[in-house]
């Protein structure tokens, strides 16, 4: 099935660096770029292509025995046509995402269809719903167009390629309508998530509700297999179990993500920030050492304050890098300026004191930042939020 990767967080195969850990590299074959979007074919696609040939090849052979081995070519053509239909689905997601201002990383065609990988964005319910609907509606439009063209064809046009066209029309109906089902990780689940988010004003609640809806859909699919006794057909059983496993895994991941966001949104920037002491960038490192030592005497309890600096001439915010500072020998610390041992980020690396933790994570990942200053507008900095502190809070609270 086709899905839209969650735009709030990098997709699992996203090669972009993340503060959480080392970058992951995309697998599979690079097919090129379509409408400016990189398209990759995951190695798992070849498994579903082989399964398609095994399922439909013998059926076509019984209907068109005179074609012989050419029936397998037609069956493989269905697998390729299905991949093209998935690509149209994902391109619709990508186009709608760009219209909403989302950065599009790549499209990956996989065992269970495909997904569009977006860069981390700060989104709202309405654009999330519209981008999610774009993919399934593109498949429905393809199905309607195919139905019209088949209906206008001459009566004597029946044959193996005619059967292939009919299969592709049916496949697009299935891709479109199935992905509109209201549960994650399907596209319809993103719509449910957006609606609950808009009603409750809480993003993670929408994700949780939609994830449970996805689990319900998986349970109904299993009941359908048993009730209709479709499990007796090996090919149908294999495909159905793959779909059920895909939905269960995706819904479980979404539910874990909702719990994570719920824990993060319960904390505010000012509650998790480390204390900070601000100096000018030209302050000698020896003076910084003496000031911090005096402020954190024997009776001091808590975090050692982060040393920060503000460079107003180039609109940058800095935090002292302990590793860089440690390399400066003691005799030279009076000649080395604080700004020379800081890590610098643009002035947008700042958050208001009451910013929720989930928004802090999105801000950090969207800007590829390791930390955020905590301050109200142009007021003095009150603390520094580090990415690792947010992760620790979310995972070990």
More reliable by pLDDT, 274 or 58: 274
Tell me the mean pLDDT in the region 358-367: 85
User: Do residues 162 and 34 lie in contact, with contact meaning Cβ atoms separated by under 8 Å?
Assistant: no
User: Do residues 337 and 285 lie in contact, with contact meaning Cβ atoms separated by under 8 Å?
Assistant: yes
Which domains are assigned to the chain? 2-265 (no CATH), 269-396 (3.10.580.10)
**Residue 25, annotated ligand binder?**
no
Please give the pLDDT value at position 158.
67
Does position 226 have pLDDT exceeding 80, yes or no? yes
Tell me the mean pLDDT in the region 356-363: 87
Please give the pLDDT value at position 128.
93
**Residue 187, annotated ligand binder?**
yes
- Tell me the average pLDDT of the chain: 85
* Structure confidence by residue, pLDDT tens digits, 210-223: 999 999 999 999 99
Please give the pLDDT value at position 397.
54
**Residue 393, annotated ligand binder?**
no
How would you label 289-319 residue by residue, b for 16+ Cβ within 10 Å and e otherwise?
beebeeebeeeeeeeebbbbbbbeeeebbbb
* Structure confidence by residue, pLDDT tens digits, 369-391: 999 999 987 678 999 999 888 88
Please give the pLDDT value at position 385.
94
pLDDT band of residue 145 (cuts 50, 70, 90) is very high
Please give the pLDDT value at position 103.
87
Please give the pLDDT value at position 192.
96
Share of the chain above pLDDT 90, in %: 47
Does position 288 have pLDDT exceeding 90, yes or no? yes
Highest mean pLDDT: which of 9-18, 68-77, 274-283?
274-283
How would you label 201-233 residue by residue, b for 16+ Cβ within 10 Å and e otherwise?
ebbbbbbbbbbbbbbebbeebeeebeeeeeeee
pTM of the predicted model, to two decimals? 0.78
Helix, strand, coil abundance in the chain, percent, nearest 5? 55, 15, 30
Please give the pLDDT value at position 2.
60
pLDDT band of residue 65 (cuts 50, 70, 90) is confident
- The DSSP line for 230-270 is GGGSHHHHHHHHHHHHHHHHHHHHHHHHHHHHHHHHTSBHH
Q: Which residues sit opposite 39 in a β-bridge?
A: 32, 107
Please give the pLDDT value at position 21.
32
Tell me the mean pLDDT in the region 223-250: 87
pLDDT band of residue 6 (cuts 50, 70, 90) is low
- Out of 38, 90, 193, 332, pick the active-site residue: 90
Please give the pLDDT value at position 19.
29
Four-point Cα dihedral 141, 142, 145, 147, nearest 10: -110
Q: Rounded to an integer, what is the distance from CA 228 to the centroid of its chain? A: 36
Please give the pLDDT value at position 52.
80
pLDDT band of residue 281 (cuts 50, 70, 90) is very high
* Structure confidence by residue, pLDDT tens digits, 13-48: 433 333 233 334 456 788 888 888 899 988 888 888
Does position 199 have pLDDT exceeding 50, yes or no? yes
Is residue 90 part of the annotated active site? The answer reads yes
pLDDT band of residue 178 (cuts 50, 70, 90) is very high
Helices 125-152, 187-200: inter-axial angle, 10-degree rounding: 150
Please give the pLDDT value at position 8.
55
- As a whole number of angstroms, the longest Cα–Cα distance in the chain is 94
pLDDT band of residue 142 (cuts 50, 70, 90) is very high
Please give the pLDDT value at position 50.
85
């Amino acid at each position: 099935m086709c899905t839209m990767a969650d735009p709030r967080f990098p997709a699992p195969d996203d090669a972009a660096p993340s503060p959480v850990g080392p970058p992951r590299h995309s697998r599979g074959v690079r097919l090129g770029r379509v409408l400016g979007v990189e398209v990759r074919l995951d190695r798992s696609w070849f498994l579903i292509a082989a399964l398609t040939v095994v399922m439909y090849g013998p059926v076509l052979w019984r209907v068109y025995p005179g074609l012989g081995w050419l029936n397998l070519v037609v069956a493989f053509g269905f697998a390729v046509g299905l991949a093209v239909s998935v690509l149209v689905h994902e391109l619709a997601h990508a186009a709608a995402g760009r219209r909403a201002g989302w950065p599009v990383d790549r499209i990956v065609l996989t065992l269970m269809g495909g997904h569009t990988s977006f860069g981390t964005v700060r989104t709202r319910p309405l654009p999330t719903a519209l981008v999610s609907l774009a993919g399934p509606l593109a498949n429905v439009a393809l199905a309607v167009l195919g139905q019209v063209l088949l209906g206008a064809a001459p009566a004597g046009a029946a044959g193996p390629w005619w059967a292939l066209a009919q299969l592709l029309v049916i496949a697009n109906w299935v891709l479109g309508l199935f992905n509109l089902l209201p549960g994650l990780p399907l596209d319809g689940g993103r719509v449910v998530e957006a609606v609950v988010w808009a009603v409750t004003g809480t993003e993670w609640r929408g994700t949780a509700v939609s994830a449970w809806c996805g689990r319900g859909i998986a349970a109904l699919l299993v009941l359908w297999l048993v009730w209709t006794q479709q499990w007796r057909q090996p090919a149908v059983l294999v495909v159905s179990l793959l779909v059920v496993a895909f939905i269960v895994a995706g819904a479980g991941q979404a539910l874990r993500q909702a719990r994570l966001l719920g824990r993060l949104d319960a904390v505010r920037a000012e509650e998790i920030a480390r204390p900070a002491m601000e100096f000018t960038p030209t302050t000698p490192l020896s003076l910084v050492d003496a000031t911090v030592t005096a402020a954190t005497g024997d009776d001091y309890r808590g975090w050692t304050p982060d040393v920060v600096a503000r460079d107003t001439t180039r609109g940058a915010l800095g935090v002292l890098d302990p590793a860089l500072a440690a390399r400066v020998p003691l005799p030279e610390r009076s000649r080395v300026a604080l700004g020379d041992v800081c890590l610098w980020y643009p002035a947008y690396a700042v958050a208001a004191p009451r910013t929720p933790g989930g928004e802090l994570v999105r801000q950090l990942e969207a800007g590829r930042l390791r930390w955020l200053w905590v301050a109200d507008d142009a007021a003095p900095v009150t603390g520094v939020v580090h990415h690792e502190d947010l992760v620790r809070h979310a995972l070990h609270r």
